[in-house]
Structure 1
């Protein structure tokens, strides 16, 4: 049986591509090697961080990271190995960390981030989905005087409606568990947060009820081409044909490698700790410990900490030393409390060297579309990317005719 559109990969990007294509009247099939209960999207912080958070490749990131390493507070670990692709990625990352690119990236983040928030709000209103969504801003907490002063200076050129500098007392109201070591805080008003698990499960349930086909626990390992099109994809036991194919496989590049398409991204291993804590100490909104690269997000029944990036690691297990490091850095700046019902998680994020996602139509095989490389910003941009992919397929657009692809895809940067 030949299907309309097959999406390979059921992370948040795959689900959002399916959502938008279904809304456009397309018959969609999603194939995933898992059962959509604990993929990388589930471990996301839940902070929709398109505004005032910056990106990984920012000016001065190399020197800042080195200083953090000396203090034992670095969020990044690089495992040395003889991998030319990783060395190339690191070189391109260093080259991307300049002022010109940083400014451009921030503008793109804000453009597509605002679009994403409106789409999430629309999904909840029109389809009655419960994402535990709150647009209460992001509290940015500083533990170093120098970075706090630098951020205050940057704010002088911003619209005063987009931020509020908080006093020590106001900071305590937003972050009751913070201690006296915190140097200062700024509430950036445009950001939002939600519960990634609810987003994934609610969206999946909605799509299933709407008739989207899910083929789960089936790993696609081969892709066949004929007459400048993808003819089929195959698992060990089945072959699937379709009019259109979307690759949304996260950090896994097997199918792109078979097609001989080089995707400049690396798997970045990240960690999260989800727990319950006394309600009187919970933060009022998602909180970024800016100097520690730790995000603390309140949820309906729990709180989540996310941090750490390991490059060059292939270990799929939770490394205790990394969890202990997150806790140790966090506890330096918070009051003592007991974390209960702790769940530790780790997973790999598809990280590009310039923070820009990889999406658009394949230049040679016209019925193949990519939707990958969103790194730690999958939740922040997935609905926007899904909407763009829908437009590419339903309007049969080439990349050169899609302003969004030319603006925001790493294929053209």
Structure 2
């Protein structure tokens, strides 16, 4: 019977777990291959924002004009380790091409289609995994220290409004009410009202994993070392001591997906956008009632269950280079001098994670071009936590041969081969 088939999911982050959950709900036997190192998952260390307002891709004509200065500034939010530059140049060229108006609109259309029901997918998954209380309807503040900086983003706000993104302007007193720990810092802001916050991303992922296990998903605590073919068909995934056989496979191991996709003959322009965070111990104080993006500093602050998290920096240096915390430490020190409430807060920990990023900001969702029994679900960049459950729901529909809720053609792994 169809529903007795085995689905092997490679990857146990938010995307892989979501794929496992919805595949199991559809009646398949499901096994997840993941080494279970929670802190390595991009979804573990992010700001916890379900950023359904992020319809516009990162590659824009405006950003392209800023790219030279971003690359040359020591304190830029975009860092490239120079020895990694030869590796990332092809990605950067594709990124630049993606900023032209036609591909920009194509990417925005794709992102808009998948973001519209992202919160619904979270609600469904969270309810089934006893995690609903970790979701909070906080909105997301994008804040500016000056009126000029606020006005500089007017075109972007107008474009987002055209895409149906809901927002409201905030003046200084509004911001101070939502961000009491930052009182007096910001002149203007935009509140993206539909965004939600995951109050503890690590706990959220853990509860989804537990929910999957309760539904009968089997977890194999190991790393995928390669794939096995039988009569030209993908038949198994190799782990350290044996092959794990299956009928259908889902490749959802984030930044580590590129090499395995290549083994299947799919050469996807995926690279690793390394992101950092610092956790500040706030004790029992609430400095923020909504997560906040600080435009001038290009950082996000998020009040989570265990403290205040500051996420910053986009770094290209691959998967193996050691962390470089200097940039985020300098930014934090500069902010401490502006925000008295942060000046004495102790640093609880620092973290580096690996975002799987596509040059057009559009994730890869759909079947391999060469092995139709393998489905890809990676490349979500800064939207992995936001889009994980929706991706899992779509992939579960696709592996059943059902018509998916949205057209997956714009997310095809082969979309770059014809351009």
Pair in the same fold by TM > 0.5: yes
8 Å contact kept, 2:110–2:362? no
Name stretches of at least 5 consecutive residues in structure 1 with no aligned partner: none
Per-residue CA distance 1:147-197 (angstroms, 9 max, x = gap): 310334554673899222112111111112225453421112111111211
Pairing 1:178–2:182 present: yes
Kindly tell me the number of residue pairs found equivalent between the two proteins.
408
Structure 1 residue 68: Cα displacement: 5.4
Give distance in 1, aligned partners of 2:68 and 2:186. Answer: 22
Specify which of 167, 172, 197 is matched with residue 171 of structure 2: 167
Give distance in 1, aligned partners of 2:73 and 2:184. Answer: 19
Pairing 1:236–2:262 present: no
**Alignment root-mean-square deviation, CA:** 2.7
Pairing 1:90–2:92 present: yes
Pairing 1:389–2:384 present: no
| Counterparts in 2 of 1:89 and 1:116: CA distance versus 1, 3 Å | same
Per-residue CA distance 1:381-412 (angstroms, 9 max, x = gap): 11111111101111267xxx885211344533
8 Å contact kept, 1:73–1:329? no
Give distance in 1, aligned partners of 2:105 and 2:117. Answer: 19
Structure 1 residue 133: Cα displacement: 0.8
Structure 1 residue 44: Cα displacement: 1.6
Specify which of 285, 292, 307 is matched with residue 287 of structure 1: 292
Taking the TM superposition and a 5 Å limit, the aligned residue runs for 1:284-323 are: 284-323=289-328
**Worse-superposed segment, 158-167 or 54-63:** 158-167
Give distance in 2, aligned partners of 1:21 and 1:283. Answer: 37
**Worse-superposed segment, 68-77 or 196-205:** 68-77
Give distance in 1, aligned partners of 2:121 and 2:405. Answer: 20
Specify which of 178, 190, 195 is matched with residue 191 of structure 1: 195
Q: Which residue of 1 aligns with 2:15?
A: 13
Per-residue CA distance 1:13-66 (angstroms, 9 max, x = gap): 100000111111111000113344542220121111120574321221133354
Structure 1 residue 103: Cα displacement: 3.9
Equivalent residue of 2:117, what SS?
helix
Q: Which residue of 1 aligns with 2:78?
A: 76
Q: Which residue of 1 aligns with 2:367?
A: 361
Give distance in 2, aligned partners of 1:116 and 1:161. Answer: 14
Give distance in 2, aligned partners of 1:53 and 1:298. Answer: 24
Equivalent residue of 1:404, what SS?
coil
Q: Which residue of 2 aligns with 1:370?
A: 376
Structure 1 residue 330: Cα displacement: 3.5
Structure 1 residue 368: Cα displacement: 1.1
8 Å contact kept, 1:179–1:335? no
Give distance in 2, aligned partners of 1:48 and 1:121. Answer: 12
**Worse-superposed segment, 249-258 or 377-386:** 249-258
| Counterparts in 2 of 1:62 and 1:156: CA distance versus 1, 3 Å | closer
Give distance in 1, aligned partners of 2:61 and 2:332. Answer: 27
Structure 1 residue 203: Cα displacement: 0.3
Pairing 1:325–2:325 present: no
Structure 1 residue 256: Cα displacement: 1.9
Name stretches of at least 5 consecutive residues in structure 2 with no aligned partner: none
Give distance in 2, aligned partners of 1:41 and 1:214. Answer: 18
8 Å contact kept, 1:78–1:311? yes
8 Å contact kept, 2:95–2:359? yes
Pairing 1:204–2:209 present: yes
Q: Which residue of 2 aligns with 1:249?
A: 253
| Counterparts in 2 of 1:131 and 1:75: CA distance versus 1, 3 Å | farther
Structure 1 residue 79: Cα displacement: 1.4
Taking the TM superposition and a 5 Å limit, the aligned residue runs for 1:255-270 are: 255-270=260-275
Specify which of 331, 337, 348 is matched with residue 342 of structure 1: 348
Structure 1 residue 269: Cα displacement: 1.2
